[in-house]
Structure 1
């Protein structure tokens, strides 16, 4: 294991967080994918283990680059810890969807484990969460957005098909 300084790990984590926020705003997740090494492993509760930027890009574009993933707009970091010796960052991250039109804001959280590879890039990410909780959040958000009249016809059709 290579030891990294706390300052380098804090900086890399800050870049990761800013990148996630910007990608959520633009719906372009290529800058996020660029944070990973060529052989990076991304452990995702729904998708399994993804290896390398191509597989990571395929998943993130599917999950976050289209509706309803595009409705997540904020990812507050509640806390994080750093292990300088292992180059690991563990954080509790919120996942907030936009207001569906009735003022409702539910935050679903996950634990995040990042392994730093140096040079501002990561060799591993693991998102630890219960997929059923996230599905429930999206379903409740959809019901509220439909009731508020804030969805397009295409978005309403997506919810009608997804049950």
Structure 2
């Protein structure tokens, strides 16, 4: 792993955070794809038997930032802390997941627990890979709560219907069979 100047990594993080805010405001995450190398990979675990992996900037744009973020329009992912390792060229960011819908008694719906992203920097102000983590049990619990309250967006209802259809969803692989390993 190459090392990078700390100032370059700090600038990359700031570019990333600024681009995230713009995408949240626009309700479109796809422009973030430009902050990845052409051959970047992006993945996460989806429980004991399944992983998600996108390979290449186009799949990241279409699958991660398009399909997988579909239905989360209006959600925000405020970063709580960012840690930079300039010797390894890696960054870890801890974020929250907050829905734009309000609870019947007031306050926002928020996924409990800790979410985060681990990035490897590829130079030229682009990530070469990203791995996310989140508490799938807490995410599921919140979606069920929102469904019962009638506050789940139409886009998220479509995503849940797609997941329940039993059809193969692009990017999802049996654990250990993704085109690029999580580790």
TM-score w.r.t. the length of structure 1 is 0.80
Q: Which residue of 1 aligns with 2:136?
A: 131
- SS of the equivalent of 2:108 reads coil
2: CA distance between counterparts of 1:139 and 1:17? 30
Q: Indicate how the Cα distance of structure 1 residues 107 and 116 shifts in structure 2: closer, same or farther if over 3 A, else same.
A: same
Asked if 2 retains the 8 angstrom alpha-carbon contact of 1:91 and 1:111, the reply is yes
Q: After TM superposition, list the pairs within 5 Å mapping 1:104-119 onto structure 2.
A: 104-108=107-111, 109-119=114-124
* Partner deviation per Cα, 1:19-50 (whole Å, 9 max, x = no partner): 12221221222321111101101012346121
Q: Which residue of 2 aligns with 1:28?
A: 28
1:48 maps to 2:52: yes
- SS of the equivalent of 2:87 reads coil
Q: Which residue of 1 aligns with 2:79?
A: 77
- SS of the equivalent of 1:135 reads helix
Q: Which residue of 2 aligns with 1:4?
A: 4
2: CA distance between counterparts of 1:131 and 1:17? 24
- SS of the equivalent of 1:3 reads coil
Q: How big is the shift at 1:100? A: 2.6
Q: Higher helix share goes to which structure? A: 1
Structure 1: unaligned runs, 5 residues or longer: none
Asked if 1 retains the 8 angstrom alpha-carbon contact of 2:30 and 2:62, the reply is no
Q: How big is the shift at 1:75? A: 1.7
* Partner deviation per Cα, 1:118-138 (whole Å, 9 max, x = no partner): 111000000012323212222
Q: Indicate how the Cα distance of structure 1 residues 58 and 3 shifts in structure 2: closer, same or farther if over 3 A, else same.
A: same
1: CA distance between counterparts of 2:27 and 2:133? 22
Q: After TM superposition, list the pairs within 5 Å mapping 1:63-102 onto structure 2.
A: 63-64=68-69, 66-67=70-71, 69-72=72-75, 74-100=76-102, 102=104
2: CA distance between counterparts of 1:25 and 1:106? 18
